[in-house]
């Protein structure tokens, strides 16, 4: 696996699959790498903790980083190129162009500026890497919905693949943020996937999930439309950690 830090050093051939990441890789990322490996000639993973998508600077400062471990995981899963640029490489002095997406739902309202940062960095990555397909996790359903909207609205020729959420043995959706939970918080956090699963098939899934959150205070519970699927999504805060999750209500991922 080649580690590339500069845009002008990227030399890619064939059908390229891109897995954008912010590092702190876990089994959810492994599943994206494996599918990209099976579907592409060349697999590129990007490793860039994108400052532009953090509405909260303490969240950016606390974001887990372990580049060496991440490189080992990417190499073991058959990634060909790990693109790990500096912040200056992506946002050089004088950078002034942003992609603003309307209608980013409750997650967008809860995190002002977040999807502007995500959309901008992803479009930059699509232009830099020119992938045929880009791979994202279902856990970040609103992010996937935003990116599908962006590539459609801006005629960007990349397929946004969304792969199923990978869960821990107890049902908690894998997330780089889970490492911040104490054992007691982790136990409480399980109320989120349980409430979402309990609401599948209910007449009013939003109300059903709210009713079974077991004391967890939701930021929101809402239905997100990904085009091929509708998911029931929610965000809760457990201690100082904000967790999101969703389950499929209708349709199947593609």
Chain positions contacting ligand PAF, by CB under 6 A: 20-22, 50, 53, 118, 121-122, 140, 143
Least separation in angstroms between residue 39's CB and ligand PAF is: 18
Q: Please, what is the angle between helix 141-153 and helix 114-129, to 10°?
A: 60
Least separation in angstroms between residue 235's CB and ligand PAF is: 15
Least separation in angstroms between residue 42's CB and ligand PAF is: 19
The CA-CA-CA angle for residues 121, 112, 147, to 5°, reads 40
Q: Phi and psi dihedrals of 12, rounded to 5?
A: -120, 145
Looking at the Cβ atoms of 125 and 181, the one nearer to ligand PAF is 125
Looking at the Cβ atoms of 49 and 198, the one nearer to ligand PAF is 49
Looking at the Cβ atoms of 52 and 208, the one nearer to ligand PAF is 52
Contacting residues for 119 by C-beta, under 8 A, at least 6 apart: 99, 100, 101, 146, 147, 150
CB 1 within 8 A of CB 81: yes
Cβ atoms within 10 A of the Cβ of 68, count?
Answer: 6
Tell me, yes or no, if 114 is annotated catalytic.
no
Query: Catalytic residue numbers?
Result: 29
């Amino acid at each position: 696996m080649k580690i590339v830090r500069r845009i002008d050093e990227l030399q890619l051939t064939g059908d390229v699959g891109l897995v954008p990441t912010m590092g702190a890789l876990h089994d959810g990322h492994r599943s994206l790498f494996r599918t990209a490996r099976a579907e592409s000639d060349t697999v590129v993973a990007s490793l860039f903790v994108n400052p532009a998508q953090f509405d909260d600077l303490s969240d950016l400062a606390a974001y887990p980083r372990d580049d060496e471990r991440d490189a080992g995981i990417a190499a073991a899963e058959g990634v060909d190129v790990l693109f790990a640029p500096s912040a200056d490489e992506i946002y050089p002095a004088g950078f002034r162009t942003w992609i603003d997406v309307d209608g980013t739902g409750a997650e967008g309202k809860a995190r002002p500026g977040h999807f502007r940062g995500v959309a901008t960095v992803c479009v930059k990555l699509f232009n830099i890497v020119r992938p045929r397909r880009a791979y994202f996790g279902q856990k970040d359903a609103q992010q996937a919905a935003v990116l599908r909207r962006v590539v459609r609205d801006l005629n960007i020729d990349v397929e946004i693949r969304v792969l199923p959420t990978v869960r821990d043995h107890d049902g908690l959706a894998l997330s780089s943020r889970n490492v911040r939970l104490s054992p007691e918080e982790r136990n409480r956090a399980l109320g989120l996937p349980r409430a979402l699963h309990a609401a599948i098939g209910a007449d009013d899934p939003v109300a059903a999930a709210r009713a079974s959150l077991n004391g967890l205070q939701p930021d929101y519970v809402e239905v997100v439309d990904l085009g091929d699927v509708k998911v029931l999504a929610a965000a809760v805060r457990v201690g100082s950690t904000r967790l999101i999750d969703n389950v499929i209500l209708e349709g199947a991922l593609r």
